[in-house]
Amino acid sequence: MKFLRPTHPQILTVQDGKVWLFGVTEHWNAEALGWHVAKRGDRYAAAQAVSMAVRKVFGHISPSAARGVALRHDYGSAFLTGHFHNQIRFWGMTPSYAFVGEPETNGVIERFFRTLKEQIVHGRIYRTIDEVRDAVRDFVARYNAEWLIEKNGLRSPNDTRAAWYQTAIGAAA
């Protein structure tokens, strides 16, 4: 069905030191579905980003809410813990591992993070974790609404999803 792809870079702040950004993108349209900025890059922070994605796509967080979704992730320690796997299984997801040494198998989120870093990380200084959160929130909204993605026919992720819904409604009528 769907592939949600989490991964995480670190961002340096003046007051809070390194902070972690976890993100989840949709494979088919490159839409940023969930994110979480945390002081610790652990299993709980990773699950928060997935939780946001599940709520956005399915409208709620409950047992089996995301049944049938394959969650592609790398071998980062946050994604290999029992807590993380129990949580995604609770939501009905199946883990799908990216190939070791082949970042292209997790390419949608890797490309998203490359763009995010180019736009809001490189060349900028953040004082606090809250400034990073504000910057990520604004970027994700702009990215989903305005970023033209080649694989989407140079449409934004939001426009691509809207076109898909329109086609699905037309087919059902």
**CA 16 to CA 1: how far, in whole Å?**
39
Beta bridge partners, 7, equal 23
Looking at the predicted structure, is the pLDDT value of residue 17 above 70? yes
Q: What is the pLDDT of residues 95-150, one digit of tens each?
A: 988 777 656 667 888 899 999 999 999 999 999 999 999 999 999 999 999 999 99
Q: What is residue 4's predicted lDDT score, i.e. its pLDDT?
A: 52
Average pLDDT score over the chain: 90
Looking at the predicted structure, is the pLDDT value of residue 2 above 50? no
Q: Which residues are CB-contacts of 123 (< 8 A; sequence separation ≥ 6)?
A: none
CATH no. for 3-147: 3.30.420.10
The answer to whether 50 touches 4, Cβ cutoff 8 Å, is yes
Instruction: Characterise 164 by phi-psi region: left (phi > 0), alpha (psi -120 to 50), beta (else).
Output: alpha
**CA 140 to CA 118: how far, in whole Å?**
13
- Residues of the chain above pLDDT 70, percent: 91
Q: What are the backbone dihedrals phi and psi of residue 170, each rounded to the nearest 5 degrees, phi first?
A: -65, -40
Kindly report the pTM of this predicted structure: 0.89
> pLDDT-derived band of residue 161, with 50, 70 and 90 as boundaries?
very high
Q: Which residues are CB-contacts of 5 (< 8 A; sequence separation ≥ 6)?
A: 24, 25, 27, 71, 72, 73, 106, 108, 109
- Residues of the chain above pLDDT 90, percent: 76
Domain ranges of the chain: 3-147
Instruction: Characterise 123 by phi-psi region: left (phi > 0), alpha (psi -120 to 50), beta (else).
Output: left
Q: What is the pLDDT of residues 36-63, one digit of tens each?
A: 999 999 999 999 999 999 999 999 999 9
